[in-house]
Amino acid sequence: MKNYMVTHTLKSDEAMEAYFAAMETMSEADIRGAMKNEKASFQMQWNAGKNDKIMFCWWKAESPEAILETLGEMGSLFDNDIKEMPNVMDFTD
């Protein structure tokens, strides 16, 4: 699978409320389970909570379309800017 960084920008205040309301009902395990399949796997997210409508996510996926398919209906809450990141430098030990 390829690495992708995705900027998910919530489309409205209503979309933000819907997103965070849904997230409050799910555990991290629930989220991981819903965002992983044979074509795409959500890895990590950075966000500022309700202080900003932008989230940055790292995905491993076969294609941008696989990410959108995995997001399903939730993906419609966002404008999704998907960028493949072929050059990865891992500085962790």
Record the pTM. Answer: 0.84
Measured distance CA(84)–CA(2) in Å, rounded: 7
Q: What number does CATH give the domain 2-84? A: 3.30.70.1060
Determine the pLDDT at residue 24: 87
Residue among 29, 27, 23, 7 nearest 74 (CA): 23
Which comes out higher in pLDDT, residue 83 or 47? 83
Give the model's pLDDT for residue 49: 83
- Find the mean pLDDT for residues 50-71: 94
| All structural domains of the chain with their residue ranges | 2-84
pLDDT cut 70: percent of the chain above it: 100
pLDDT, mean of residues 32-49? 91
Q: What is the mean pLDDT of residues 31-41?
A: 91
